[in-house]
Chains A and B, each alone.
Chain A
Amino acid sequence: MTTVAPPSEHGASGPPAGKAGGKQVDRVFRAIAFAAGLLVLAILALIAYTTTNKAWPAFTHQGLSFFTSTHWNPNDDRFGALDFIYGTILTAFIAVCLAIPASLGIALFITELAPKRVRSGVTYVVDLLAAIPSVVYGFWALAVLTSPAKTIYNDIANSIGKVPVLRNVFGGPAYGSSFMTAGLVLAVMITPIITSISREVLTTVAQDDKNAALAMGATRWEMLRVAVFPRVRSGLIGASMLGLGRAMGETIAVALIIGTSHQVTSHIFFPGDSMAAVIAHNFGEATGLSRAALIGLGVVLFAITIVINIAARSIANRTSAMTGARA
């Protein structure tokens, strides 16, 4: 790590020597700014170290079955977390499946369809979805959504839920608080970030390429298919993965509506639990080994989301020199 100032990219050959103190101030200012930048790396490293350290007793006590056992019972020191890992993955998967088509549609609306005047307005409305606090989503869904959702789920369970293979996914009895409800609300919550990154990626396609396709007589949809989608495929995958990462880490809304039940099942209308939700519900009362086990869930969650985010950002960055996307 160098402490020497890189050559100026402003074009000037460096300022002439002014007051004797100026150089010192410059050096100190640079060092402070650099330290602030390093803080990001320090926090991430510290998270990994301290949480793993605190969770270690639980990991050594439970061994590999932490990841493979479904037996979680703090009263007799059993900490098999498979139920929760499964719940996290299933709800995030449902959310991403629902959110991708909608987000891509909105992103295309903004980049291809909307007149310039309404573009920022539409973007603003989509960002409002991200401004609603997670706990408000969760509370609203619990108070308002769960009972009509149960009726609709039961209708589905009574129709396609009778078909032999689909029975295993859509079969009843359906619950208002379930994997599906959590996935549905998560889908709304991750739509802004998938939309925002998709939009950034879509704007990188050169207008000339699109015009070329249109000049050949392509309709808008054909133009998108031949000139746009091939260019942005990996960027869109990156955007979807970022959404997946967000959905897995989302805590409060899921904790309120997933149903708090320990099970691994293919039925999406059944209640379950996720890693983040279990931590939120139980950390306050947990002590000793069970507290270590909950921190262990946090370590697993941190590891999964970091890997997904690093992969997603790498893919999205490679597609384009996209810079402004964040949510």
Chain B
Amino acid sequence: MTVASPPAPPTHEDPGAWINQQAVSGRRRFTNALATSWMIGSLLLALVPVVVIAVYVVSRGASVMSVGFLTKNMQIVTQLAGGGIAPAIVGTLVITGVAAVMAIPLGILAAVYLNEYGRQNRTANVIRFMADVMTGVPSIVMGLFVATIWVSSGLHSGYSGFAGSLALGALMLPIVIRSCEEMLKLVPDDLRQASDALGARRWRTVVSVALPAALPGIVSGAMLAVARAAGETAPLLLTIGTTNVVNSNPFKGTNTTLSKVIWDNAQTPFAAATDRAWGAALTLIVIVFVFTVIARIVSSRFATVKR
């Protein structure tokens, strides 16, 4: 580094360096500065809600947090203090977990079809496009759908955790498909050709070459889908009913989740209920955050695989 180096040429990173500032009129410079501050200002503006909501949820939530709050059954009379949110924690984990068990394998299989078999044929393009469209279906509509075909149909009677899982699974499916397909796309074709050259059949190539190579990205995408599903409320209002005691069986009896506890308690004027909602909000945010962080760690730790 002691060798005298020629002055560094301006890089693409910094287009401003190309301009001789003296040659630019004041008005043009002002407009440019205005545009720059708009960009920076927008970013700062976006930080405000993240920070403010995080501060409120953590400070208000921490004041009600205790071992009892996390492990006790729910208070039956909403306006009284006391009780815990254990049923909601269990419900959130069980319902989201069952949804993930259904949606992730199906999503990966669909992505395998799109990237390894269908590629650019018309059916694959239609499925790809509709998967994108499906990510925009409102979650309340997914709830209505499950409420009509499952909860109040002859197939099954009444509310259950599993009904909620069906709705969450349907919401997760397109997200998993699209993120998994993107990851499979990043696997270089050389690897597939090498596998082909060794005499492996296509399914063998997919299972032992393409999927393992894309695994970190797939796990990270699936985690983000799980995180999103864990925070959902609208479809669960129409599908799971409610309960005050822990129900770890998704197939039998009504259930509840953290998001539903927040919804129920948010709409009452009582201080005890509001406190409970803040506590549930903190717990929910922590769960969502843990999934998001796992996704980040998995994808950055194995980032070299993605090239």
What is the interface of chain A, defined by CB distance below 8 A to chain B? 1-2, 5-6, 8-12, 14-16, 18, 22-23, 25-26, 29-30, 32-41, 43-44, 46-47, 50-51, 53-54, 101-106, 108-109, 112-113, 115-116, 122, 124-126, 128-140, 142-144, 188, 191, 207, 210-211, 214-215, 217, 219-224, 242, 245-246, 248-252, 256, 276, 279-280, 283-284, 294-295, 298, 301-302, 305-306, 308-310, 312-313, 317, 323-324, 326
Contact = CB atoms under 8 A, between A and B. Distances in A.
Given A50-B149, A135-B263, A279-B144, A103 B127 contact: no
A284 B237 contact: yes
B127 A220 contact: no
A112 B39 contact: yes
Contacts of B16: 219-220
Contacts of A53: 148
A104 B127 CA distance: 29
Given A10-B189, A41-B127, A51 B148 contact: yes
B281 A43 contact: no
Contacts of B65: none
Contact of B50 (A30, A39, A129, A242): A129
A53 B145 CA distance: 11
B261 to A, nearest CB: 9
B63 interface: no
A12 B137 contact: no
Contact of A30 (B24, B135, B202, B233): B202
A185 to B, nearest CB: 9
A40 B149 contact: no
Given A22-B201, A30-B203, A134-B231, A6 B173 contact: no
Contacts of A26: 201-203
Contacts of B206: 29
Contacts of A295: 144, 148
B141 A133 contact: no
Given A139-B277, A207-B12, A210-B15, A50 B145 contact: yes
Residue from the set A14, A16, A302 with the largest chain B CB neighbour count within 10 Å: A302
Interface in B231-249: 231-234, 237-238
